[in-house]
Structure formats: C-alpha cells, structure tokens
Structure 1
Amino acid sequence: MSQTISDRHYWLDKMLQIAEPVLQALANHQLKEKMTIEGKLSDRDQYTYLEAFARLICGMAPWLETGPETGEEGRLRRQYIELVQKGMDAATDPNSPDYMNFSKGHQPIVDTAFLAHAILRAPQQLFHTLPEKVQKNIIIALKQTRSRKPFFNNWLLFSAMIEVTLYKLGEEWDPMRVDYALKQHEQWYLGDGIYGDGPEFHADYYNSYVIQPMLVDIIHTIGDQAQDWQQMKDKIMRRAERFASIQERSISPEGTFPVIGRSIAYRFGAFQHLAQMALQQRLPSDLQPAQVRCALTAVIRKVMETSGTFDDEGWLQIGLCGHQPELGEAYISTGSLYLCSTVFLPLGLQETDPFWIGQADWTAKKAWSGQTISIDQAH
C-alpha cells in the first residue's frame, strides 16, 4: 500500500473511530442513554447531545455528500449515510427519546449552526434525500433558535449560518441576521488575515473553529443576493488565503501546534479552516495540497495515537494530547469535543485529487531541517 493511499485510509479510519459511538447510539435512539458526559457544569446534559451530533457531522459532511459508491470506501459511506440520516430523524423528532434541545438556553444557537453548516456542506445526503417528515422537523429545529439573540462576537455568525442554510433549502430566511454578521466582522477585521472575536483580539483558534470557515461558506452561498455582499467576497477570500498560510506555518515538524487560547480541547479542530481551504481547492498558490495533507496527517497522528483520547467505551475525553480534564472550560463537555472532526473535511476530495498524491514537507519541517523556504510576509 502506498503512503498516499494509506494517509487517506488513516484519515478515514480515525474519523470513523471518532464517529462510531455517537452515530450508532443515535441511530438506535440510545444516545442519551449511552453517551458519557464529562464536564464541570451539571447542566451540560441539556446541550451535549446536540453538540456531539452537529459538530461531528459538520466535519463528516463533505465525505458523506460524495455519495455511496462501489468499493470498500463506498460501502462504508453508504453505511454511514444511513446512520447519519437515522440520526437526523432521531435528533429532530419531538417524539424521539433522543430529541435534542433547539430552544432552551443560549448554547443551542451554536450547535444548531454547526448542524446547519453540515447541511450546507451536504445538502443531498443531510436534507434532500430524507423523508418529507424529517425535512419539516429539521426546518422547525433550525427556526427555533430565532427566539434568542446571539452574543456580540463570533456568535453572530451562528445566527447567520442558520439563515443562510434556510435560504439554501428554499425556506423563508432573514437577510438582516446575515448582513449584521458580515458587516460586524468587517468592522472586526484586524489585518494580516485575522479577525477579532468581537471588538477585541483573542489569541486563540476561533478564526478557525468558527469565523473564517463560516464567513467563507456564507459569502459563497448568498454573496450574489446583494451588491454590497458581492463586494465583500474578494476581501474575505484574500484574508482566508492568508490565514490558511498562517495555519500551515504553525504546524511544527513533529505535528504539534501552539497551545494557546480557550477551547484547546477541540484538538485538531483548530485546523478546520486549513482543511476547508484544501477541500475547496482555495489554498494559497505557494502551498502544495500534498504538503497540507502531510502537515495535517502529522497533527492527526500526534493526537490520535496518545492514550486517553478516548474512554473505555470509545467516547472522546477532554484534553488536547490524551485525557487532560483541566483543559476543559466550564462550557466544555463531551459533546463539545466532536468539533475535532472538522479536520477531516478533505475526505470530500476524490482519492485521485492532488491533495492525496505524493509526499511533501510542510513549511516548518522544511525550515527546521535547513531546506529552502519562502520568506513570510504580512498581507
């Protein structure tokens, strides 16, 4: 087996290892019965199930959307499409024992947005091929979050993402929520590919966990609906390219990355943006897709091959490198951790795509072994 093929197999194996307990339990209407809840606050059982499912499929969506095919991977995809579709039903049916909370507290705004983002990334498999009853339940669930207002930070994008997905599905939607999020993030742009999380700069990974991936997908979905949005697209994409470069350069030769900021227990979800730019074939011209794959593979291996990442039942545990419960903020619980799945977005590319072909050192590996690299510069 060639190294490039084994990289894809390794990615797929690890994504499905993360996904299996969540999707099997939910498909059997047993998620609330079986899922471990680790966290500091006793109210996390109100939110953790939607967190786990929505964040997980947000990363799996591009792979699912390529549809069932022949061969071993096609068979697996068929199996997991069926599990996820059963999960969509169980999560949104008010009569299901695993019906999820879309309407109480503020947290559901966040994870309904991740569910919406998953649908935007895989509209066929996560919506259009579902029974009409399930489609109606999904729309009702998305709209339930409108009763609360988001906080004045990256949360504005959660409300916008929900509305943009409603637009994509042909439903009534609110352009004002989208406009507000786009205009505020334009105000919060700080330079060199970085947005503030609200009015202030935070040294963390929220530009990748939320801000840049959602901005990119929002503007490409509804940008042509208003002239001022259309004018924002080029700027958003130039910034996205610059931030992808910064992300690639932050991966050490060993596959580690700076342990900074809150929510570090999302592990390699810190690289959602770089993964999305690879998936969408929008990487900066000086980044080879193969070097991004090799860099991300090093990160995935570093995290996944550390004992303590999973508990004895296969659920993720709080931590960055193994089980480190001290790294969980008060809002973190088991379900929160499944945002890590967003590193696997490039599995939506065919295995013949240049991303999966050949070996290439990434920037830090080149630099720290004395190879020639280009000078970095602010944009």
Structure 2
Amino acid sequence: MPYLRPAEDRELSPYTGWTRAHWERLADRMLDAVRPHATPGQALIHLPGPVSSSGRHSDGLEGYARTFLLAAFRIAGARGAGGTEALAERYAAGLAAGTDPASPERWPRMSECGQAKVEAASIALGLHETRPWIWDRLDDRVRQRVVDWFSEMVGTEVPDNNWVWFRAIVEAFLRSVGGPWKPADLAHTVARTESWYAGGGWYSDGADTPPPFRNYDHYSGWAMHLYPLWYCRISGDSADAAEAGLADRYRARLRDYLTDLQYLVGADGAPLYQGRSLTYRYAAAAPFWAGELFGADALAPGLTRRIGSGMVRHFTDRADPDDSGLLSLGWYRPHPPIRQNYSGPASPYWASKSFAGLLLPADHPAWTEAEQPLPVDLGDFVRTLHAPGWVASGTRADGIVRIANHGADHADRGQVSGAAYDPFYCRWAYSTATGPELGGPGPVPGPDGAVHASTPDLDLPGGGPLDSHVALVDAQGRPTHRRPLERLALDGPAAASRHRARRPQDGSPQQPREPEPWLTTASVLHGAWEVRAVRVDGDPAGAALRIGGWAVAGDRPPVLRTAEGRASVRNQDGLQGLVVALHGPLRAGVRASVGRTSFAEHAAVAYLETPDPARAGGLYVAAIALGREPGEPPELVADGPQGEWRIHWPDGQLDRLPLGANVSPTEFPQE
C-alpha cells in the first residue's frame, strides 16, 4: 500500500511543510512495517538483513527493543488513545513472552549476550514513558519477570563509554518500581561522564587518554546528552541526595551543545556524515528534541522542529524507509560498508530516538510556532568547534556544511603505528553532502569513459584512503594513514594538526621504519573552499605526497576534468569537487569508483600528487572546494620576512596560513 503523507502546511512550516501529523503517520507506517516480522508472541522481531556479531537471537531482541522505543513515543504522545491501544497490547504481549524463561521466544539474558544490555535500556525507557498504558496494566507475574530480566544489569561490567548509561537507565527504572539497584553503579556512571566532559557542551564517547579527547561523533548527542537527562526524568522522586543538581548540570551542557550543533545541519536537513553507527541516521535529531523536552532553552522551538522535520524528511524524500516501510542498513539505501560488526538488521531503528518530540503535547510551541531558519539558511558562516577540533563552514547558496577535522580520530591511549585506519573518523574533512569512499573493490571507469581494472580496496593494504585525505604514497601505491593525530592549533577559520606517516592500514603488527616522517597539516576555511597546507617533516623515503579532494557521488558517473594543477568532478545535480594546486609541484588527477559511498552508486575524487618524491621540509598547498557554485580559488602569497604566508580570497578577505613560518617561498620555484 503506498505511503500517503498528510497535506503540507507551508505557513506553519515554510522550510519543510511538515506538521505533527507527518511524524505520527510516519511512526505508524514504520511500526506497521515491522509487524509481519514478529514472532507469534511478539517478543522477537526478525527483520531481513545480515546477522550481527551477536547472533540472530540478539538481533530479534534488538528488533523488539528499538521499535518499542518508537512505539512508546507514539503511545505516550497520544496518551494511550488515538488508535495506539492495539500497539500497547502488542508490545505488552512481547514483554510477557520475552521475559518468560520457558517461552520459545525468550530474550537472551544479559549474562548470555552483552548486546542485551543495550536493548534493555530502550525497553526500560519505553516502559517508563508508557507506565499508565503498559507497565501498570501488566500482570504482577509479568512485572516480576521483567524485573528479574533487568536485574542482571545490576553490578554488571559494561564498556567504558556510553554503555555506562544503559546500566544507569535500567537501574533507575528498577529503583522506581522497587527493584534492585546499586548506588555504586550510578555513582560510577556520573563520575565517568564527568571525566569525558570536554567543555562547551561536548562529551567524548569514552576515552582512555588524557585531554584533548579524540572520540567525537553523533554519540555525543544521541547518547551522552540524551541518557543523562532521561535518567533524571526516570529517577524523579526516587533520586537520592547525591544526585541533586544533576538535571540542571546536564541541561546547561545540552544548551551549550545545541548552540554548536545547529551549525552542523545542512539546509536540506542532512546531518553531518561522520563517525560510527551512521545507519541510525535521523537519530541525529534526538538531542534537538531533548532540548525542548528537558527545557534546555537552547534554540527557538520553531528551529527545533525545522531541524527535526528537515532531518527526517531529508531521508524520507530519498525513499527511506523503503517501499515496504523498513529501514535498511545504509544511509539512503542498503550499503554494507557502513556497518560495524555490531550492526544487525534492526540496528537502524535507533532512529526511533528522533521521534522523542511526540512526547511534547500537541499545543507545545515546538509544534505550534512557525519554523525558524538554520544558520546556513541565513548566510555563509565559519564556526570554530573547540572540543572536537573542527572548523565548520556553511554556504547559503547550496546549503552545504563542511568541517575540517583536526581533532577527532577515535584513537585511545596506546594506539601506535599498527592502529587500523578508520574512514569514519580519520579524514581531514566531512560534510552534509558527501561521505568517504569505503572499502570494497569494484570496476573503475576512467576519464575516457572506459572501464579499467579494479583498484585495491580503499581501506586495506594496497589501496587505502584517497578522498579528503593526505598521505605519503610509496612506489606500490600504498598510502600512509593518520591515526593517531596530535592537535596543534584551532584559531578562527584555521586549524592545524600533525601525525606520523603510518602503515599499514589493517592494524597488523609491523616494524616501523625509523624515523617515520611527520606530516603537519593546516586548514583554512572560507565559503566552499578549504586551503589545505602540508609540510613534510622528515625523510619521506622516496614516497610521493597526495592530497585528496571530496568524494562526489551521483546516480550516474560524475563528469571528470583535469588540467595542469587543477581537477574537478561534477555529478548530475551540479555538485562539484575541485582541487587546485597553490604551492609546490603538484599534478592533478581524478579517480572514479562504484558502490563505495553511502550517497549514490557512482563517485569520483579529484586529487593532487607530487610528480616526484616529496621533499623533506617541503611545503605543499592546495585549494579544495565542495559546492554547486564554489567560485574562484584564492591566491597564496608570501608576506613578511619570516616567510609567513597569506591567503587572498576573491572577496578581499585575508587569512594567515598557520604553517608558513620559516618555510622559504623559493622552496619550489614557480615556472
């Protein structure tokens, strides 16, 4: 049956047209779509797709738990009425069967399967929000079985990251219903969260390393902000004296975080494509709704809805959910390389978190006030995000937001030369309109249109990353990687970092060549352009230097162009990626691929590479653009007796290149 959307309201919602009715209709469609995949007792939901590392039994629990979160928001938002009565009965039946040890549909216990700890938090949260319509109506024996199943969480070991909050959420619910809980568990969660707070509203998702932390991604919003405030909500009057003031603390941090986060949303609603678990996609809207739900007062209510509706509509407009109403393991379409090993067919349903806004009453200002514009709707901007080490640039003409990344690589203490490269964290740049090329060899059409031999896997030895990357490339074409990086500077539109040029890509042990050269890099952002400078400190041992541009994707092969010191790729929608050599001997090239990005089937990258081995102490500078009408590149000129370099932008703005000092302007004579 085709999905029929409610009528748009462009007066109330001038940017998206969406109203609360659109959210309710979409939630109903998604919940109806998973129903045929449930077991007879409704306790397990086995969706089609590849099995996770935890196994099919765990995946079935995940199917129940993550869709129950969506059902809970829908039921509670309708106050148990509006046709949600049957939904409550369905999930109550699943609780009864899943917690029955004698049932063939019993859930895996937490002592049997670690992933059950994650799913337990969604069930506990959903039960709290639906107390009058599910928990209070359960048979006493079923309630006791639920408590028994949850109780294995008390005192259990959990990974030292956002998982500490899964235990806290479950124990908060247990405490609220007279079940067992352990004060030491809750105190540990609060203490670990404090140790990961990086300031400005940002949390690192766990870190076994001293500040500055490097573990930044969407988990800062959809986990590290969401669960602490929900923990306070569940605890309510049962909270003890040691928890006094927690809600105020977490609310103030969420306020600061959202003030930054609004700058990482594209005008088309796209969230930033960076970090792991991206298959949760519009769960990225959850912290914005949390701002309204928990009174953070960070953004205008109309802006919250503009972001939330824009983000979900961004995906639904691209046929996600699919024709059957299911979410795939991908971004817009199924894309296996996006998966982590813990991802199963129901994993994408953490997207349910984006529906938290349904808990707000229909007359809440977030639903009744007119949509307000995003920062990128209002004009071009460059914003420094200090905690993650990012500089963000948004352009109103195309609505794209880009970041230069000089702070986040998800590397912890002790990761050395063999640490595996991670394309979701280690690129120099990410955006709302592109994603990195991921692994998987495929036929590659060249600039002449002919299909050439397959290239090596992009993220394994023999190939490695190209797009939004900087690497030394040996005679066999093998690039170095970046992890771990070291921050150097973050100042206005500029950021800088350095790293040892490392091999291999797969994390296998090796004897590093000593000394490995350092690559010191800097980015200066302005509009659609990034000036990226690279200095080679040490002997590159015959390797060439390569600077990669953006991976521009399309349903058809992009148009590829090269000229002396310049290359571009352009998709059928007019999105362009350009690279221009500004300093140092750099020749231009392009490389196309198939099936390697989450955005579309075809992609291509423009890049620059030294024709000969890179020079020790050499400075290389490129201008890199992503946009539909990026304009002309800037000029780079030497300025001052210390060899300082300045960037002259076409609009007259001047910026300093932070790596120019003490590098002679005649290092590479310009012919």
TM-score where L is the length of structure 1: 0.87
Q: Percent identical across equivalent pairs?
A: 20
Question: Contact 1:112/1:162 (CA < 8 Å) preserved in 2?
Answer: yes
Which aligned pairs between 1:205-354 and structure 2 lie closer than 5 A? 205-222=218-235, 225-284=239-298, 287-307=299-319, 309-310=321-322, 313-354=324-365
Letter in structure 1 aligned against 2:126? A
Letter in structure 2 aligned against 1:198? G
1:162 is displaced (CA, Å) by 1.1
Question: Contact 1:223/1:229 (CA < 8 Å) preserved in 2?
Answer: no
> Over residues 31-79 of structure 1, what are the superposed CA-to-partner deviations in whole Å (9 max), with x where a residue is unaligned?
75853232464x431311222221222244243125556xxxx332223
- In 2, the alpha carbon distance for the partners of 1:296 and 1:277 equals 12
Helix, strand or coil for the counterpart of 1:98? coil
Alignment gaps of 5+ in structure 1: none
Return closer, same or farther for 1:271/1:178 CA change in 2, 3 Å cut-off. Answer: same
- In 1, the alpha carbon distance for the partners of 2:360 and 2:320 equals 30
Question: Contact 2:51/2:345 (CA < 8 Å) preserved in 1?
Answer: yes
Return closer, same or farther for 1:260/1:189 CA change in 2, 3 Å cut-off. Answer: same
1:164 is displaced (CA, Å) by 0.6
Question: Contact 2:301/2:369 (CA < 8 Å) preserved in 1?
Answer: no
- With 190-199 and 214-223 compared, the bigger mean Cα shift is at 214-223
1:307 is displaced (CA, Å) by 3.0
Return closer, same or farther for 1:274/1:188 CA change in 2, 3 Å cut-off. Answer: same
1:198 is displaced (CA, Å) by 1.5
Helix, strand or coil for the counterpart of 2:133? helix
Which aligned pairs between 1:16-27 and structure 2 lie closer than 5 A? 16-23=28-35, 25-26=37-38
- In 1, the alpha carbon distance for the partners of 2:234 and 2:115 equals 25
- In 1, the alpha carbon distance for the partners of 2:144 and 2:296 equals 34
- With 100-109 and 262-271 compared, the bigger mean Cα shift is at 100-109
Return closer, same or farther for 1:101/1:283 CA change in 2, 3 Å cut-off. Answer: farther
- In 1, the alpha carbon distance for the partners of 2:261 and 2:93 equals 35
1:27 is displaced (CA, Å) by 7.2
User: Could you say which residue in structure 2 is the equivalent of 1:109?
Assistant: 117
1:177 is displaced (CA, Å) by 0.6
Return closer, same or farther for 1:90/1:245 CA change in 2, 3 Å cut-off. Answer: farther
- In 2, the alpha carbon distance for the partners of 1:281 and 1:376 equals 26
Choose the corresponding residue for 1:141, options 130, 141, 149.
149
- In 2, the alpha carbon distance for the partners of 1:130 and 1:22 equals 23
Backbone CA RMSD of aligned residues = 2.8
Return closer, same or farther for 1:34/1:22 CA change in 2, 3 Å cut-off. Answer: same
Letter in structure 2 aligned against 1:212? H
- In 2, the alpha carbon distance for the partners of 1:136 and 1:58 equals 21
Letter in structure 2 aligned against 1:189? Y
Helix, strand or coil for the counterpart of 2:187? helix
- In 2, the alpha carbon distance for the partners of 1:168 and 1:201 equals 36
Check if 1:44 corresponds to 2:44.
Answer: no
- In 2, the alpha carbon distance for the partners of 1:109 and 1:40 equals 15
1:155 is displaced (CA, Å) by 1.2
Return closer, same or farther for 1:44/1:208 CA change in 2, 3 Å cut-off. Answer: farther
1:242 is displaced (CA, Å) by 1.5
Which aligned pairs between 1:51-130 and structure 2 lie closer than 5 A? 51-66=62-77, 74-103=81-110, 104-130=112-138
1:266 is displaced (CA, Å) by 0.5
Question: Contact 2:71/2:87 (CA < 8 Å) preserved in 1?
Answer: no
Letter in structure 1 aligned against 2:371? A
- In 2, the alpha carbon distance for the partners of 1:34 and 1:157 equals 26
Return closer, same or farther for 1:334/1:31 CA change in 2, 3 Å cut-off. Answer: farther
- In 1, the alpha carbon distance for the partners of 2:90 and 2:76 equals 14
Return closer, same or farther for 1:229/1:31 CA change in 2, 3 Å cut-off. Answer: closer
1:378 is displaced (CA, Å) by 7.8
User: Could you say which residue in structure 2 is the equivalent of 1:361?
Assistant: 372
Alignment gaps of 5+ in structure 2: 1-6, 208-212, 388-671
1:160 is displaced (CA, Å) by 1.2
1:295 is displaced (CA, Å) by 1.7
Return closer, same or farther for 1:52/1:94 CA change in 2, 3 Å cut-off. Answer: same
Question: Contact 1:119/1:126 (CA < 8 Å) preserved in 2?
Answer: yes
1:146 is displaced (CA, Å) by 3.8
Question: Contact 1:318/1:327 (CA < 8 Å) preserved in 2?
Answer: yes
Return closer, same or farther for 1:56/1:362 CA change in 2, 3 Å cut-off. Answer: farther
User: Could you say which residue in structure 2 is the equivalent of 1:186?
Assistant: 194
Question: Contact 1:120/1:165 (CA < 8 Å) preserved in 2?
Answer: yes
- In 1, the alpha carbon distance for the partners of 2:55 and 2:320 equals 21
1:349 is displaced (CA, Å) by 2.0
Name which structure has the greater RCO, CA cutoff 8 Å, separation 6+.
1
Q: For the pair shown, which has the larger CA radius of gyration, 1 or 2? A: 2
1:290 is displaced (CA, Å) by 1.8
Query: Could you say which structure has the higher helix fraction?
Result: 1
Choose the corresponding residue for 1:172, options 176, 180, 183.
180
Question: Contact 1:14/1:304 (CA < 8 Å) preserved in 2?
Answer: no
Question: Contact 1:25/1:31 (CA < 8 Å) preserved in 2?
Answer: no
Question: Contact 1:291/1:362 (CA < 8 Å) preserved in 2?
Answer: yes
TM-score where L is the length of structure 2: 0.51
Return closer, same or farther for 1:360/1:122 CA change in 2, 3 Å cut-off. Answer: same
> How many residues are matched?
368
> Over residues 244-279 of structure 1, what are the superposed CA-to-partner deviations in whole Å (9 max), with x where a residue is unaligned?
333333221111121000001001112222222223
Question: Contact 1:112/1:142 (CA < 8 Å) preserved in 2?
Answer: yes
1:30 is displaced (CA, Å) by 6.0
1:93 is displaced (CA, Å) by 2.3
> Over residues 312-344 of structure 1, what are the superposed CA-to-partner deviations in whole Å (9 max), with x where a residue is unaligned?
654321012222221111111112111001101
Letter in structure 1 aligned against 2:82? R
> Over residues 183-213 of structure 1, what are the superposed CA-to-partner deviations in whole Å (9 max), with x where a residue is unaligned?
1111211111011212243121112222111
1:121 is displaced (CA, Å) by 2.6
Letter in structure 2 aligned against 1:65? A
Question: Contact 2:226/2:286 (CA < 8 Å) preserved in 1?
Answer: yes
Letter in structure 2 aligned against 1:93? D
Question: Contact 1:92/1:138 (CA < 8 Å) preserved in 2?
Answer: yes
- In 1, the alpha carbon distance for the partners of 2:302 and 2:121 equals 31
1:127 is displaced (CA, Å) by 1.2
Question: Contact 2:8/2:18 (CA < 8 Å) preserved in 1?
Answer: yes
> Over residues 287-317 of structure 1, what are the superposed CA-to-partner deviations in whole Å (9 max), with x where a residue is unaligned?
221221122111111112323643x654321
Choose the corresponding residue for 2:26, options 10, 14, 29.
14
Question: Contact 2:155/2:185 (CA < 8 Å) preserved in 1?
Answer: no
- With 129-138 and 29-38 compared, the bigger mean Cα shift is at 29-38
